Amino acid sequence: MTLKDKKIIVGITGSIAAYKSALLVRALVKEGAEVQVIMTQAAKDFISPLTLSTLSGKKVLSEIFEEDEWANHVMLGRWADIMVIAPLSCNTLAKMAGGLCDNLLLSVYLSAVCPVVVAPAMDEDMWKHPGTKKNLEKLLSWGNLVIPVGYGELASGLTGEGRMAEPESIVEFIAGSLSKSGPLKGKKALVTAGPTYEHLDPVRFIGNHSSGKMGVAVARELANRGTEVHLVLGPVSQHFDLNGLQVKRVQSAEEMFIACKEVFAGMDITVMAAAVADYAPAEYSQNKIKKNDDEMVVNLSKTPDILKSLGQMKTPAQVLVGFALETDNEEANAMKKLEAKNADMIVLNSLKDEKAGFGKDTNKVTVFDRKGGKKAFDTKSKEAVAKDIIDCIIGYTNA
């Protein structure tokens, strides 16, 4: 965590999720940050300023003018290393998107020269309203960062999307945003994720169970660290938050290969986490194949080995990372792959581990690199594994 001595403005607006802001402020202070809370009037109906001033150790600010004192919003905006507005209500979001500044929080937002992170909280119908989407898009286009809302119980009693992210996730997001000044800032990365579908006819395909979770986690973590990410994503069924990523959706290995070749030359880092089909039907039938005989033979031909082809194009300055899913002789096979594909790094995940692999939320990996490095990690969430992989890439490029 990189929050020690960081100056953080926590803006709180009028939403029931404001009660969670106390936990957020407490967690930030515990990490060593200096926290200045700014509340809107409506926020005070949900949580007491006294709670927040006690937790932050600073007077809570709310008004532009208090008696004969003027809160210097410009200097507050310059003081902070980061400003986080959590919860962000629909009303304050609309005002931010419209450039209004009828309270201190909005004035500081408009004056802030630091990164601004928002954690929206609202009922699902408001969240899904095109006006809300437009307002959020505006904020994103100005470089503000949006922490995705969660799914679950809402203040209305309904269940759906719109819950504010949990304080721990917000703390992690803030730490990630601040570390964007790290070694990956301004770099470009290509990531592949998901399966490929190789079509036999208009209704059938050969595919696999890859969920895309691992590759998307890598892509998101790279983006969190300031990298421009191009994600080439196969046909996945899960809905992912792909905000801030440049996404190209593909179906087949051939399409994935074309999409990768288009951008590869300009990339600093390439991580191929997709589970690409090795074989595709040799012929595609324009019409649905009829059921006739008891048996049917399908001829398959090899798909392009994308990793290997990119390995042949790679310059010494580029880092190329492949994945290996092995069932036996894992280490020997991973090392062979490193060589055969001219990759810099191979992330081995074993199908023997019941918490690792396709569709799971966790993974257990060992990372091998071309300079002889080997790092074995414990079973972790795919998000945490993504962080480990990226730390290995940074370590490899610095070694």
Smallest separation, CB 324 to ligand C5P (Å):
5
Contacts to ligand C5P from residues 71-90, by CB under 6 A? none
Q: Which is nearer to ligand C5P, 200 or 324 (CB)?
A: 324
Q: Which residues in the 183-202 window bind ligand C5P by CB under 6 A?
A: 192
The answer to whether the CB of 285 falls within 8 A of the CB of 315 is no
Using CB under 6 A as the binding rule, whether residue 303 contacts ligand C5P is answered as yes
Point out which span in 71-79, 144-152, 236-244, 318-326 binds ligand C5P (CB under 6 A).
Answer: 318-326
Among 278, 330, 331, 353, binds ligand C5P (CB under 6 A): 278
Terminus-to-terminus CA distance in the chain, angstroms? Answer: 23
Asked if residue 252 lies in contact with residue 259, where contact means CB atoms within 8 angstroms, the answer is no
Peptide bond into 148 cis (omega under 30): no
Q: Does 212 bind ligand C5P (CB under 6 A)?
A: no
Catalytic residue among 72, 91, 208, 342: 208
307 binds ligand C5P (CB under 6 A): yes
Find the shortest distance in angstroms from Cβ 307 to ligand C5P.
4
Q: Please list every residue from 337 through 356 that binds ligand C5P, using CB under 6 A.
A: 337
Residues 258-277 that bind ligand C5P (CB under 6 A): 272, 274, 276
Helix (H, G, I), strand (E, B) or coil at 179: helix
7 class by beta-carbon count within 10 Å (0-12 exposed, 13-18 middle, 19+ buried): middle
Please tell me whether residue 324 binds ligand C5P under the rule CB under 6 A.
yes
Residues 6 or more apart in contact with residue 293 via CB below 8 angstroms: none
63 or 326, CB closer to ligand C5P? 326
Question: In this complex, which beta carbon is closest to ligand C5P, that of residue 3 or of residue 280?
Answer: 280
Binding-site string for ligand C5P from residue 223 to residue 262, where x marks contact by CB under 6 A and - marks none: ------------------------------x---------
Residue 398 is among the residues annotated as catalytic for this protein = no
Q: How many CB atoms lie within 10 A of CB 2?
A: 16
Stretch that binds ligand C5P, among 84-92, 114-122, 134-142, 301-309 (CB under 6 A): 301-309
Number of H helices, E strands in the chain: 13, 23
Q: Residue 398 is which amino acid?
A: N
**Neighbour-count burial for 328-359, b at 16+ CB within 10 Å, e otherwise:** eebeebbbebbeebbbbbbbbbbeeeeebbee
Non-local CB neighbours of 290 within 8 Å, separated by 6+ positions: none
- Rounded (5°) CA angle 189-191-192: 160
Closest to 84 in 3D by CA, of 176, 204, 198 = 176
Catalytic site residues?
Answer: 208
Q: Which residue ranges make up the site for ligand C5P (CB under 6 A)?
A: 192, 253, 272, 274, 276, 278, 303-307, 322-324, 337
